[in-house]
């Protein structure tokens, strides 16, 4: 792994500008969240707080990216508490030099291969679920439909995919 420098850039009117005050601005806005009487969803806090549009966008992107949080669901107080727990240089970012697929190989190595199957590049078409029984219908990377049954299922998705069409996400059995 390679540790990245803690440098932040922002695009203004089509030009990149370094934001040397990035962490100070983020921390100031998150700290304001603790001052709300009621613990609000962060999106609601952003809609009502007196914050410049640039800062609103910057902190929203930070919360979605760094915390991997949905702004409509994450608690304003929890973000501020989480931020308070961190030390000055407690925000390091790293890149895996051999590519993220090598991380997946490490994860796969921790599973009992006869009991766990890890699939990538698979499109889920339908999930049927009841306690102890999951049926998954998916399209594999070759475009073929497959059906899988198991006692449990874990699916990971980027936040953007989850947000794209929540109405299409349903389970039935």
Task: Decide: 7 and 20 in contact? Cβ < 8 Å.
Answer: no
Other CB atoms within a 10 A radius of the CB of residue 74 amount to 19
In the chain, where the domains are located? 2-94, 114-168
Q: What is the pLDDT of residue 145?
A: 95
101: left (phi over 0), alpha (psi -120 to 50) or beta: alpha
- The tens digit of pLDDT for each residue in 67-110 reads 888 899 998 888 876 655 455 556 677 888 888 778 778 888 88
Percent of the chain with pLDDT over 90: 24
Does the predicted model carry a pTM greater than 0.85? no
Residue 47: C-alpha distances to residues 40, 44, 57, 72, 114 (Å): 11, 5, 11, 11, 50
Task: Decide: 76 and 69 in contact? Cβ < 8 Å.
Answer: no
DSSP 131: T
Give the residue among 25, 67, 58, 29 at the shortest CA–CA distance from 45. 29
Other CB atoms within a 10 A radius of the CB of residue 79 amount to 24
- The tens digit of pLDDT for each residue in 3-44 reads 888 888 888 788 898 988 998 999 899 888 878 888 889 999
Calculated CA dihedral for residues 107, 110, 115, 118, nearest 10 degrees: 10
């Amino acid at each position: 792994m390679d540790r990245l420098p803690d440098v932040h850039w922002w695009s203004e009117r089509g030009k990149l500008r370094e934001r040397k005050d990035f962490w100070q601005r983020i921390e100031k806005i998150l700290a304001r969240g603790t001052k709300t009487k009621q613990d609000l969803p962060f999106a609601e806090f952003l809609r009502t707080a007196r914050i410049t549009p640039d800062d609103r966008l910057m902190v929203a992107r930070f919360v979605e990216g760094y915390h991997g949080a949905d702004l409509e669901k994450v608690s304003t107080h929890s973000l501020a508490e989480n931020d308070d727990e961190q030390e000055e240089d407690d925000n390091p970012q790293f890149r895996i030099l051999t590519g993220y697929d090598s991380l997946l190989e490490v994860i796969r190595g921790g599973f009992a291969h006869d009991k766990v199957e890890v699939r990538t590049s698979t499109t889920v078409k339908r999930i049927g679920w009841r306690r102890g029984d999951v049926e998954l219908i998916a399209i594999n990377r070759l475009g073929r439909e497959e059906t899988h049954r198991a006692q449990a299922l874990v699916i990971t998705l980027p936040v953007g995919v989850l947000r794209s069409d929540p109405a299409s996400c349903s389970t039935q059995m």
